[in-house]
A and B are shown apart, each in its own frame.
Chain A
């Protein structure tokens, strides 16, 4: 059930809806639609998050939106957000410049629990924007590889141009820490893709050779992806106790009050977004 990690609200006197103004340290364009923002807390403070958690980002007059933290807590002095321009708030965010201020609340939600994953072989499966939260766990593994067994990354995107964190993908692919397998659904005319397969992300699963007893799979992606990826993993012999998912729901408050993110008796913002599959398997509409 819900976890309550320390949030920066403790520094705003327990006012849970009040953002803390933080500085945009730098911006990097990821795709025509997506930008990576590096955020710095005042006075060099750390956000104190765990991989898989999210923050609520505010720009006054434009509102607030939940955004996954895309960097590992092992990288000090900043945290990163990979943001898709999808509407009012995220659009306004893209207009901001380095040095501008942005409101942050959090960190919120459950996380990929490094203690429970310790010693395991991990298959990290990300689809599309799901690479944003997954990147925090990938970076964590990159910085502390000895805590885990064999590390495999599977990443799928619609087209080569839609792939996020292209430089990271190359770096992870070249490192000895990870075995990386990438796929794209299709390659438009004139584009090329020689870093992996063409097909849905599920094509990457059957060829994997897994130590079934000692493997945990972590899945983050668009809603349609889960059912098919889970089915492939089950064919490989993984059970629901060995699968971790991160779910996205419309979230307005992040603190279990506004009701928008409810999945039956669970609130995705405080009981999730990260769940072990067996915690939610009987719940209608969860996957």
Chain B
């Protein structure tokens, strides 16, 4: 396997720019890490997960549904000009993407999502490159190429044929350790604490068994200010609203992320609102990922990426809520 420096990876990514629409973690001048082009700031592979959900590359905050020309005909959104090449998914982000791929393909296939998703190249980042030196879990798959940091350089592990073919043009030396480094890194990854998984699975079990009373949801609800940050940051949140607007003299239908934490999310024309109480909305936020989705998809759909806990101004992200559930009801 090849072992590359950040500079070598940067040169590699730049060389792909003619064939791909490249998005990689870059540092903006204010210090924020975002997924962007290499012309927007220095490549910043280190620092852990990107604050914004990386799935937004395929399911962006605003997206065109279709356009209507002056003669009244509907035109589907233009197919993407180049396939997307995206760097920076953590192992948890890749789990999230795997789920939303399934979500958008089952039943009716969401052609707008797959317009961007089909043909995309995914590059995961793991190892010793988390925030403040934190070790990021090794994904071991679910992406085309994984960049595994050993603290100095990145071991470049292609997981798919497409990844292998692309990595051939990467100019970097062979690791040359005979696989020893990877073994040690894998051991370190396997030894990462599993407390969060255990807590969330236990909380999911308690919710499903009806052990969490309404009083609890009421209590958490009083701490929610309905800022919607948790939904907007979550890579497995997929809800959207649709509206029409005029753009350059043409009518465009767009979709925009929506939040189940808002009072009007479910309000019907008759005024009936099945989620009219904050308690019902707080319950939904957690119950949906830990109980309803288990029923529908066979697994929970919180992959513990940590974003909602990072952004919630009142400390009621899913991990803290689960901790409270387990402490109080098991």
Contacts and interface: CB of A to CB of B under 8 A. Distances in A.
A pairs with B:
yes
Contacts of B246: 61
Given A101-B72, A285-B280, A63 B244 contact: yes
B65 interface: yes
A259 B274 contact: no
Contacts of B112: 17
Chain A interface helix/strand/loop/mixed: loop
A262 B301 CA distance: 15
Interface residues of B, number: 47
Given A260-B258, A260-B265, A61 B251 contact: yes
Contact of A16 (B110, B284, B296): B110
A273 B291 CA distance: 22
A257 B274 contact: no
Given A15-B111, A21-B72, A264 B240 contact: no
A252 interface: yes
Contacts of A228: none
B189 interface: no
A31 interface: no
Contacts of B241: 252, 258
Nearest to B255: A258
Q: Chain B contact residues: over half helix, strand or loop, or mixed?
A: mixed
A259 B244 contact: no
Contacts, number: 117
A111 B183 CA distance: 56
B258 A222 contact: no
A223 B272 contact: yes
A91 to B, nearest CB: 11
Given A250-B266, A265-B293, A259 B107 contact: no
B104 A257 contact: yes
Q: Which of A86, A87, A257 has the most CB of B within 10 A?
A: A257
A19 interface: yes
Contact of A250 (B65, B68, B268): B268
B136 to A, nearest CB: 30
Contacts of A258: 239-242, 255, 258
Interface centre among B243, B284, B296 (most CB of A within 10 A): B296
A60 B295 CA distance: 37
Interface in A138-193: none
A249 interface: yes
A132 to B, nearest CB: 13
A60 B251 contact: yes
A64 interface: yes
B270 interface: yes
A61 B244 contact: yes
Given A259-B260, A260-B239, A266-B296, 12 more contacts: A13-B76, A18-B76, A19-B74, A63-B243, A65-B269, A87-B269, A255-B107, A257-B110, A259-B238, A260-B258, A265-B291, A285-B275
14 contacts: A15-B66, A17-B111, A18-B66, A60-B253, A61-B244, A61-B251, A63-B244, A222-B270, A249-B274, A255-B107, A257-B110, A258-B240, A258-B241, A270-B108
